[in-house]
Amino acid sequence: MEGTKISEKTKFNISKGFPVLGTSIEKGGVNFGVFSRNATSVILEIYENYYDEEPMFKYVLDKKENRTGNIWHVFVEQVRAGMSFGWRMNGPYKPEKGFRFNKNKLLLDPYAKVIGGTLDFTEESIFGYNKNDPKKDLSFSTLDSARSQVKSIIWDSREYNWKNDEHPRYKLNDIIIYELHVRLYTINPNSHVEHRGTYKGIAEKINYLKDLGVNAIELMPIFAFPLNDTPNVNPITCEKLKNIWGYNPVNFFAVTSNYRYGVKIGEEIIQFQDLVFELHKNGIEVILDVVFNHTAEGNELGPTLNFRGLENSVYYLLNKDNPRYYENFSGTGNTINSSHYVVKQMILDSLRYWVSEMHVDGFRFDLASILGRDSKGNWIGDLSLLKDIADDPILAGTKLIAEGWDAAGGYYVGDFPTGWAEWNGKFRDTVRRFVRGDNGVVSDLATRIAGSPDLFEKRGRKPYHSVNFITSHDGFTMWDLVSYNNKHNEANGENNRDGTNANYSFNYGVEGDTNDENIIRLRKQQIKNFITILMVSQGLPMILMGDEFCRTQFGNNNAYCQDNHISWVDWSRKLKFNDIFNFTKNMINFRKSHCALRRDRFFTGRDLSGDGIADITWHGVKPFKPDFGYYSHSLAFMISGEDYIQGCKERDNDIYVVLNSFIKDLQFEIPKLPNGKKWYRVVDTSQESPKDFLLEPSIIQDNYYTVHSRSSIVLISKK
């Protein structure tokens, strides 16, 4: 067979090909494959350049020769990497029945590794309907979207030379995660990197990350995404706002070019691979924040980019009563139909690609509970895609972390299949409330410090399946948590209606910035309390970028659309708050130095080693008399260092911690130690730097220790 000719010099030979999705570069050409169940005809178009409006070649696939089941496929000789292509689907356009085929739309390949051009939502041609028609999405657009310049590009990521790259392969209970955004982390001129806001810029900060002590970075979304899909305008500056966070993927395979240095097509893949290689070489794992719950196509008024035009009723969950509309469990307009086999396979293929060809070490799944729902929206957990991911042999050894809730009201923290770790929102809220001084949280605080056994002590789960955090990209920074009583999102252009009101924050006297040294001192002390609790709790700790030097977003707790000073990391604050940086660095090192803080099993409250000390004991101002009452604001506990902990070469120190969020000083009687051991102070957050953390612990001569108001202490035992 021969394809339809555009000109003599662009004549390609065609053969049947094979039913594999995406592009497969073979000797002599490329195999193309795409899924569609209800398309009546399928056209492949090949372009010399992504910005060309006319194809150099097009071919109408034969229903008999080029279709196996519901996969359309064709092999095209002489095609090479770097060329652009797209699909056109002919079929019914009946939105009220869930069909949105439109042959005028050049569709992206869901499996494309590189996407050329810039997606512009003001370009009318990318919409399947006529935006000026009063019937809205029930109308039909005849505009050809090839002019949008957004096209799939043929690319072979297997050509990268990984040399001797090795995954660090840390155990879950040994990693400390640092969440960062590629652009926002280094785009500020005071970041002092050459390639600001790019993958290369992150590589330039590797020595900083090593100095801080984190051994895993969690990158906010790097799947290809559009920047200008928000209608919001900053009411103060009249700046057009753009969705910089990236939680709106175009597909699940392409690396975003938004963080590429230079303009060369495909360079984003190479630069990302370079970054992974350099991080691995320096002992840092790479975890990707992935979004498989929805796409950038949005609701029924969104553009037709790929999934909607390929097979709308398969890729998305549609309203069963009126398939014109989409189920919106994600809160962004649509919901991926992850219970369908084809969609499951695509997501698994994506994960395998990122592990096998891009060498990433793990994934954090945004709104992951959506992947645990069936086609009717019911939670099915162990019977869902979540279980398939956990059991996949190619993903074995990969870190899997879930955000265990979604926008449809589902909250399934602790209910994920074996093999999953989960963001622990209860840890976040309880610690915030305790440090603020709320009543009635001490008992729950003990549970969170112990690894949240109420959530995770089932079905073979471990304490390290709880991802503990105080702050994340979504909400206040840690400094704002102690500087604002209320959110201040006015710059988002939504009249401060967006973002959560449940911040559990406190400003300690002044809303926002202040020159009052007493307030600043107290705020820094509370930051140190947060870091202390995070690092002495059982589980897997995560830190938000810049919290280690008191980064601020000026009270904005939903800065998704602020690509400016509001969300750019201000590196000048590292000098201003170097005491907090050093304290955080020392607490990270302290945690890494003590196996007792990274247990591989839950506490029992029993003496497991025969030394007369239970694995954990709880205390109040008097030993073994904790006050879990409603009006209690303090808690003390002691962890035995004598237990055998897997991976620990020798017995650890015993560790005694006191947390006092009361407004007055409290005197604690310290438990006595057997076998001639004595207590040594390491941490007292009421002290100024460097006395707040002692690199050379100081012996405690008395049986009592006065723990100042709103402060914490950490002691270790020595003979």
For residues 551 and 190, what is the distance between their CA atoms, to the nearest angstrom? Answer: 13
Task: Quote the CA–CA distance of 496 and 492 in Å, as a whole number.
Answer: 7
**Contact, 326 vs 316, CB < 8 A?**
yes
> Which residue blocks in 31-189 are alpha helix, DSSP H?
182-186
Which among 297, 366, 480, 692 is annotated as catalytic? 366
Pairing mode, if any, of strands 421-423 and 466-469? parallel
DSSP secondary structure code for residue 46 in this structure: E
CA–CA gap between residue 72 and residue 432 (Å, rounded): 54
Report yes or no: 298 and 336 within 8 Å, Cβ to Cβ.
no
CA 236, CA 239: separation in Å to the nearest integer? Answer: 8
Cα 549 from chain centroid? 21
- In angstroms, how far is CA 73 from the centroid of its own chain? 34
Output the CA torsion sign for 215, 218, 223, 225. negative
- The letter for the amino acid at 654 is D
Q: Which residue of the set 179, 229, 403, 692 is catalytic?
A: 403
Quick one: residue 179, left, alpha or beta (phi over 0 = left, psi -120 to 50 = alpha)? beta
Start-to-end C-alpha separation, the chain: 84
The answer to whether the bond into 690 is cis (omega within 30° of 0) is yes
478: exposed, middle or buried (Cβ count in 10 Å: 0-12, 13-18, 19+): buried
319: phi then psi, degrees, rounded to nearest 5: -65, 125
Distance between CA atoms of 376 and 320, rounded to whole angstroms?
9
Q: What span, in angstroms and rounded, lies between the C-alpha atoms of 688 and 533?
A: 18
Task: Tell me the C-alpha distance between 524 and 659, whole Å.
Answer: 16
Q: Which two tokens stand for residue 470?
A: 């105080």
Q: Is 403 a catalytic residue?
A: yes
Helix 517-536 to helix 578-593 angle, to the nearest 10 degrees?
Answer: 20
Give me the active site residues, please. Answer: 366, 403
